[in-house]
Amino acid sequence: MTDKDGKDHLLEALHIVKIFGTLRANDDVSLFVRPGEIHALLGENGAGKSTLVKIIYGALQPTSGELRWQGEPVTIGSPAQARKLGIGMVFQHFSLFEALTVAENIALALPGAFDIAALSQRIRTISRDYGLPLEPSATVGDLSVGERQRIEIIRCLLQEPKLLIMDEPTAVLTPQEADQLFLVLERLAKEGCSILYISHRLEEVKRLCQSATILRQGKVVACVDPRKETAASLARLMVGSDIHVVHPKAKPRSGPARLVLDKLSLAQDGPFGVGLRDISLSVAGGEVVAIAGVAGNGQSEFFDAISGEKPLARNEALLIDGKPCGRLSITARRRMGAAFVPEERLGHGAVPAFRLSENVILTRYASDKDLTRSGTIGRDAAANVAERVIKSYDVRKGKPDPEARALSGGNLQKFVVGRELDRNPAVLVVNQPTWGVDAGAAATIRQALIDLARAGSAVLVISQDLDEIFEIADRIAVISRGQLSEAYPASELTREKIGLLMAGEHEMREERHAARA
């Protein structure tokens, strides 16, 4: 098919309908992508974006409608068939084996026999050429989320795709990593590869994309040039109304310290892990403290140490409401009034095969007496909690009490965060709170974090989104190579200052001071 400008399309999705039970996830959706074009696919969580791209990639089959590839009708029966056509996809949730190396993971997706040494060299060459450094012999379990995404991208590039689908690619990247990714995508487009780009970050869509198809409740509501729109106008098209604005933060009242870290240290776990060294921090009731940093500088280890997934050598290294708990389990810390939201929602924050109500029980059985009585699970109580969270955070689902893996990434994130906020915990530690959620949901979650703090809780947020950090934080610290800077009032920091701290300015200053001493 040729459009009104006389340009041929690489991909045409025509009148696509996909029905799950009573839910029409895609309702007469049509999408056109030109060769060498970076085309955005926008919409709220649950608007039908992931369903559509899974159909294009062969992971789902449409109820009705037609796909055309380079002008010819095609049936894409599997991801393998999609890859054979020249369609690659980097999913929001990575499909990697943590116990295998980078090269071994990539080899599993390639057809035919392979020589691991030759493949490793190809990985080094392509990763170097595109500015996405990877060590082929590194074990995936030791890598940061940003590094894992590089594996997925390199795996696609090795297959020389004509169309690359990117699902929320910058949700796990620092600003610096995102800038590098944009250069890679712009280079691929110049080389003739089309990009279908899903993102909730509208400013980057305006910067990167030449066209955008916008979905709302499974239907196409607009096709626009995002460069001629504002972020606000794109958001209005996505949700059908203006986005809720996070209320300005009133100055927090000085409350008692509810979470205290006292020279917290943690040995490096494995050759690619990051050790924590002498971290001290106090979070008072009533305030939000945010931890910024480049991916892979100890954020995961920091979260694990506070949550109890990695017990500490000293019980006094961590205090919740004045009580030492550094050597206590995550369950014991929850009983003390703490709640935790990990970075990886599927598999860490929720069990994929468990229903939402069952996932409620997993994190709240020890602190919610209604969920367990005399050794019996209160399934009705758990279902009530799940339904309350679903309504409060507008979690879109296809059926009552679905399995966690049936939700889109953004909807699962809203559920996992909402499940812990619903407890009104004394202390909340959350890692990447709005990863992969749309602008409306992000505003809701951020406001809820502020409201929880202002009600007297201590809220500690680990985030790679500087816009988010400046919007919600009262104080900001930066983690770099396992060390934490001083926590500065947010009003005293700029992006440039945070960038210097990310580069380890505070470590160099301490080293100079130690040398003089």
Determine the pLDDT at residue 229: 94
- d(C-alpha 467, C-alpha 489), whole Å: 16
Q: Structure pTM?
A: 0.69
Residue 308's pLDDT band (boundaries 50, 70, 90)? very high
Residue carrying structure tokens 């870290």 = 261
Average pLDDT over residues 342-364: 93
Q: What are the DSSP calls for 341-370, one per residue?
A: E-S-TBTTTB-TTSBHHHHHHHHHTTT-TT
N-term to C-term CA, the chain? 74
The residues, ordered by sequence, that sit 6+ positions from 493 with a Cβ below 8 Å of its Cβ are 476
Determine the pLDDT at residue 243: 65
User: What domains are defined for the chain?
Assistant: 11-239 (3.40.50.300), 244-337+425-517 (3.40.50.300), 350-424 (no CATH)
Residue 244's pLDDT band (boundaries 50, 70, 90)? low
Q: Give the pairing of strands 194-198 and 38-42.
A: parallel
State pLDDT tens for residues 43-98.
Answer: 987 889 989 999 999 999 999 999 999 999 999 999 999 999 999 998 877 788 88
Average pLDDT over residues 493-504: 82
- H or E segment and range at residue 389: helix 379-392
Residues in the chain: 517
Average pLDDT over residues 92-120: 87
- d(C-alpha 409, C-alpha 483), whole Å: 31
Three-class SS state of 79: helix
Mark residue 241 as left, alpha or beta (left: phi above 0; alpha: psi -120 to 50; beta: remaining): beta
State pLDDT tens for residues 246-304.
Answer: 776 677 777 899 999 999 999 988 766 789 999 999 999 999 999 998 777 899 999 99
- d(C-alpha 146, C-alpha 295), whole Å: 6
Amino acid at 257: A
- For the four alpha carbons of 20, 21, 25 and 28, in that order, the dihedral sign comes to positive
Closest CA to 268 of 142, 149, 139, 147: 142
Residue carrying structure tokens 């990310």 = 502
Residue carrying structure tokens 């250069």 = 183
Tokens representing residue 364 in the block: 């709240």
Residue 311's pLDDT band (boundaries 50, 70, 90)? very high
The residues, ordered by sequence, that sit 6+ positions from 312 with a Cβ below 8 Å of its Cβ are 264, 265, 266, 305, 318, 326, 327
Apex CA 244: angle with CA 246 and CA 429, to 5°?
A: 45
Residue carrying structure tokens 């003089």 = 516
- d(C-alpha 111, C-alpha 255), whole Å: 60
Residue 377's pLDDT band (boundaries 50, 70, 90)? confident
Residue 126's pLDDT band (boundaries 50, 70, 90)? very high
Tokens representing residue 146 in the block: 């940003």
- d(C-alpha 443, C-alpha 431), whole Å: 16
Average pLDDT over residues 226-238: 91
Q: What are the DSSP calls for 101-155, one per residue?
A: BHHHHHHHTSSS---HHHHHHHHHHHHHHTT----TTSBGGGS-HHHHHHHHHHH
- d(C-alpha 315, C-alpha 243), whole Å: 45
- Give the percent of the chain with pLDDT over 90: 63
Task: Provide the strand spans (E) within 187-252.
Answer: 194-198, 211-216, 219-224
State pLDDT tens for residues 399-454.
Answer: 899 999 998 888 899 999 999 999 999 999 999 998 877 777 888 899 999 999 99
